Amino acid sequence: MVALTARQSALLRFIAGYQAAHGYSPSYREMCDGMAIRSNQRIFEMVDALEERGAISRLPRKARSITLLVPVPLPRAPDGAPLRAVPIGGVR
């Protein structure tokens, strides 16, 4: 696997955390919201780059089909539960 940029690594961590919390992959809109990116096109490009670099795989024409191909360490609470992020300024 080729090294990832900081933004690609952040997106990969977001995808891994979302999958751990929900049991399935995020939608492109959820990735935009989670990464504070307004453009779906930018997320499409970043997901394509993750796939080209061997970090993920996707099934063609299948929604929420991202599979992680590399281990992604997620922050955990002392009891082993995944940490949840709380948006600054209130709950959405």
pLDDT for 39-89, tens place per residue? 999 999 999 999 999 999 999 999 999 999 999 887 777 777 666 655 555
pLDDT of 25 higher than 60:
yes
Global pTM reads: 0.81
Q: What domains, with CATH codes, occur in the chain?
A: 6-68 (1.10.10.10)
Query: In which residue are the tokens 């996707």 written?
Result: 58
- pLDDT of 1 reads 65
Closest CA to 13 of 65, 64, 62, 75: 75
